[in-house]
Amino acid sequence: MSWDFRVGIEEEYFVNDAPKRDIAKAKIREFFAACREGVSGDIQPEMLEPQLEVATKPSLDFADARAQLAGLRSSVGAVARDFNLSIMASGTHPLAVWARVRPNAQPRYGKVMHDLQMLGSRTVLCGMHVHVEVPDLGMRVDIMNRIQPYLPLLLALSTSSPFWQAQRTGLLGYRLAAYRELPRTGLPDLFESAADYQRYIDTLVAARAIENSTYVWWVIRPSLKHPTLELRVADSCTRLDDTIAIAALYRCLVRHLSLDTQLNAGQTGASRAINDENGWRAQRYGIHGSFVDEKTRTAKPVREILEETLDMVAEDAKELGCQRELDLARWIVARGTSADQQLTLFTEAVGRGLSNRDALAGVVDWLSAETMGETAIRH
């Protein structure tokens, strides 16, 4: 190929009041100021005040991307401790109540909140985004269409949001259920071409419905700022291993689809609806469920689909030098996702007689410690 499929990763974190284990309500501005002064790297605020996003620089290998993220988690976490705060990577916050969370006062977010009203206030959610280099817009749109059958798998591997409003939801990935309250979310339509996609964006901008394409919040989208296709389906991953595994799998899929231009070329309205159904099944059951196979009209276990997908992209992983990182996806299935661990900790705590709130506080402790202390691959 004529490009290198460089990768960039963005992680969103909650900022917690460490003693209370709840989402932070004080010292947040001072914390951000200290991060800007003392932390090297890309750190940005989010739509709600006690959230932040970190981003890696574009990279050719995952050892570099991992080192960047490990450094950001550690250094931002160290600043948080100075303010008696903590950071936490998870799709939802086990104890947060959305009505008590302050929005970001910056003008851009003020405009968004004015438009979204209560829906914006309910986005107490954190995701993980992966950018993979695809220089041509036409190819970005084409791959955006054809990669849709694999998005539920990437979501299932990332699930870290089993709690909402201090309650067990019954889902492993609740984040997208809340996020889909917003406009311009979920799966993108199957655009015929780059011109078709651009016509959609240009029409909304001309009508002043949106300012630009960053206001389109699909689970996958062409980036406005970079020549990349941006994955947005994943929950924020508590374990750094999981972030790297999902990013590696996504990068391999993008390469594979760019080479095999006929793979999933016949996507239809029915295909998109089946992909959407499988997205729901990923939210509900995570890695323990099954997805509808359009060709065989049967339900296949997620574990089987993962193995088939890993076999399919094995040569891509070899060419990209990320076989070790790709193998970490099997480890997710072997030991469970963050959501699985959260539910185990919660159930064990309740079984020991702890109250619902105290059990959830223990979950927050694990989420914070794992986020700020992850430095090495664990097997």
Q: How far is CA 113 from the centre of its chain?
A: 21
1 domain-assigned? no
pLDDT tens track for 28-72: 999 999 999 989 889 998 989 999 999 999 999 999 999 999 999
Query: In whole numbers, what is the pLDDT of the chain averaged over residues?
Result: 95
223 domain-assigned? yes
Identify whether the C-beta of residue 21 lies closer than 8 Å to the C-beta of residue 37: no
Domain with 257, as residue range(s), is 7-372
Q: How far is CA 206 from the centre of its chain?
A: 30
Region 237-256: what's the mean pLDDT?
A: 98
Name the residue among 220, 320, 296, 285 with its Cα closest to residue 308: 296
Residues 257-295 as b/e (b if ≥16 CB within 10 A, e otherwise) read bbeeeebbeebeeebbebbeebbbbbbbbbbbbbbbebe
Where does residue 233 fall: left (phi above 0), alpha (psi -120 to 50 degrees), or beta otherwise? alpha
| pLDDT of 378 above 50 | no
Looking at residue 45, its pLDDT comes to 87
Name the residue among 72, 67, 60, 1 with its Cα closest to residue 35: 72
Region 173-202: what's the mean pLDDT?
A: 96
pLDDT tens track for 106-130: 888 888 899 999 999 999 999 999 9
241 domain-assigned? yes
| pLDDT of 139 above 50 | yes
If pLDDT is split at 50, 70 and 90, which confidence band does 2 have? low
Q: In the numeric block, which tokens belong to residue 197?
A: 């996609």
Count of domains for the chain: 1
**pTM of the prediction?**
0.96
297 domain-assigned? yes
378 domain-assigned? no
2 domain-assigned? no
Looking at residue 374, its pLDDT comes to 45
DSSP class per residue in 45-67: E-SBTTEEEEEPPPBSSHHHHHH
Task: Select the more confidently predicted residue: 209 or 111.
Answer: 209
Burial-class residue 334 by CB neighbours within 10 Å (0-12, 13-18, 19+): exposed
Q: What is the CATH number of the domain that holds 298?
A: 3.30.590.20
165 domain-assigned? yes
377 domain-assigned? no
**Element housing 110 (H / E):** helix 107-116
Name the residue among 15, 9, 184 with its Cα closest to residue 104: 15
Query: What DSSP designation does 23 have?
Result: B
